[in-house]
Amino acid sequence: MTNQPRLRLESGTEAAWMLSGPSADKYPLVNEYLAYLTDRNYSPRTVRAYGYDLLAFCRWLETHSSGIDSVTTGTVLDFMRHCREASIAGRPANVLSMTGKRLDHYSATTINHRLAALTGLFTFRALREPELRNPIPSGREARRVSAEERNGLLGHLVRPKRRSALRLREPRRLPRPLDRRETADLLASLRTWRDRSIAGLMLLSGLRSGEILTLDVTDIDIGARWIRVFGKGAKERRVPLDVEVAGLIQTYLLTERPESTSTRLFLVAKGPHRGQPLTPAGLRTIFRYHRLKSGVLAGHPHALRHTFGTAMAEAGVDLAVMQALLGHAHVDTTARYIHLTPTHVKAEFDAARTRLHTRT
């Protein structure tokens, strides 16, 4: 294991993920591809995820004494079969999910993500060296959309999606919001103005964790109550700022934010890194502590964003407005929240039932 490549963050950077280790020099294409993703403004989390997917592939090649240049379609198929059949170390093999699936195997989402990483890697190589054959099989692609997509409210805007035959069917999971009690308990455990401001921006403005951490002081207009947010792919949008959250941020800036040369809004409050920008690991530590303290085990940062999206859907906010607020690139992603409106669904059901009884 010591001779296998590893993934590390290059010192002095925030997003330069690269392979390292004794055998990493056999895979320069992977590091060039990760650098390419960074240059294309992919988020550090996305580059890291692609890096670990490609690391798994490189380690599998090591066990088969093979290299990137010798990868064929058969090699890719063998790797995908390995991903479907491999067991995850440390997970019990005799435990099944409610659907009967073994929990010691990789999920369909993980396997599909590895396929996407390989597809991107060899597509990148084809751009640089067109004479080399792309080993990723194209498979049978869907030529038309499903009936549900074609007949939906925005069916006239849907384009056929190109799907690889290697992709596994993924279970459709809807975002899980926090209920009122969970939200109240989690917020009650927060003690600093910084942490309350962060939670408020997620819960009442729908910001992502990465967007929170990249906010500058100048991005907050407390007087006009607007936030300038740079989302995925460096896409800029303006989001309204709740009046209570504006008060929390103003108090944080006046009484709690350390003096620093950094322009970031949220900084480390104490310790040897005081005054430095808050990191993703630091944010995870904050929420992990308050999840345990409050007993709200579902209180992850993204759960607050899901709670915001659900509240907007239940309030009947227009789908296009929700898409603009949440910063989704595709309206299909926003549409998931429409299914999370049990209050609205029950009200419509009761109204229809009343009309039927009235007619009879």
Query: Choosing from 105, 232, 291, 336, which is the catalytic residue?
Result: 232
Active site residue 344: no
What are phi and psi for residue 240, nearest 5 degrees? -60, 145
Active site residue 330: no
Active site residue 208: yes
Q: CA 296 to CA 178: how far, in whole Å?
A: 9
In the beta sheet, which residues pair with residue 216?
264
The H-or-E segment that residue 95 falls in is: none
Q: What is the rounded (10 degree) CA torsion for 64, 65, 69, 71?
A: -10
Q: Which residue has the tokens 């063998």?
A: 78
Q: CA 17 to CA 49: how far, in whole Å?
A: 10
Phi-psi region of 317 (alpha: psi -120 to 50; beta: other; left: phi over 0): beta
Q: CA 89 to CA 1: how far, in whole Å?
A: 14
- Specify the pairing of strand 236-240 against strand 226-230: antiparallel
Q: Which amino acid is at 283?
A: L
Query: Choosing from 114, 194, 196, 208, which is the catalytic residue?
Result: 208
Decide: 93 and 82 in contact? Cβ < 8 Å.
no
Query: Choosing from 196, 257, 305, 306, which is the catalytic residue?
Result: 305
Active site residue 305: yes
The H-or-E segment that residue 354 falls in is: helix 342-359
Pick the closest to residue 31 from 11, 54, 12 (CA basis).
Answer: 54
Q: Which amino acid is at 7?
A: L
Decide: 238 and 245 in contact? Cβ < 8 Å.
no
Query: Choosing from 40, 133, 273, 302, which is the catalytic residue?
Result: 302
Q: Which amino acid is at 96?
A: L
Q: CA 55 to CA 4: how far, in whole Å?
A: 9
In the beta sheet, which residues pair with residue 6?
20
**Two tokens at 88?**
């995850």
Pick the closest to residue 136 from 114, 153, 158 (CA basis).
Answer: 114
Which residues, including other chains, have CB under 8 Å from residue 198's CB and lie 6 or more apart? 212, 266, 283, 286
- As annotated, the active-site residues are 208, 232, 302, 305, 328, 337
